Amino acid sequence: RADAIRWISDLAANGATQTDDALKEAFANLDVNTIILLSDGQPTRANLKTGGGELIDTSKILDQVKAWNRLRNVKIHTFCFKAFESMNAQPQNGFDPKKCLEFLEELATQNGGKLSKV
């Protein structure tokens, strides 16, 4: 637990939510049987020119996870901010809270997990 707290404390925001890379790294460990994904945004790829992120097609992530998980049955539980439910549905700078919720719910549902809103 102390190692996890230390690891999280050392994280730094870089303007992107590289969900695909996080899932790839988690699946690389063959001992993993459960993944807990905490996210505050839609999947993006870092853009070094702008310092922000460019949206990634979530269907590609879902397809890739399905392929990785075909024989492993890794459960994926997702967490995001409950405030996303009540946020205005108008995307701001490409961020759409409803799409973020939909993706995280679908990722969890397709992989035997559940979406929790905190």
List pLDDT tens digits, range 41-74. Answer: 777 776 656 656 677 889 999 999 999 999 999 9
- Residues making up the chain, counted from first to last: 118
pLDDT at 47: 65
pLDDT of residue 116 exceeding 70, the answer is: yes
Pairing mode, strands 53-55 and 115-117:
unpaired
pTM: 0.76
Note the pLDDT tens digit of each residue in 58-115: 999 999 999 999 999 999 999 987 666 666 655 555 667 788 888 999 999 999 999 9
| pLDDT tens track for 9-50 | 776 655 567 889 999 999 999 999 999 998 877 777 766 566
Distance, CA of 12 to CA of 33 (rounded, Å): 27
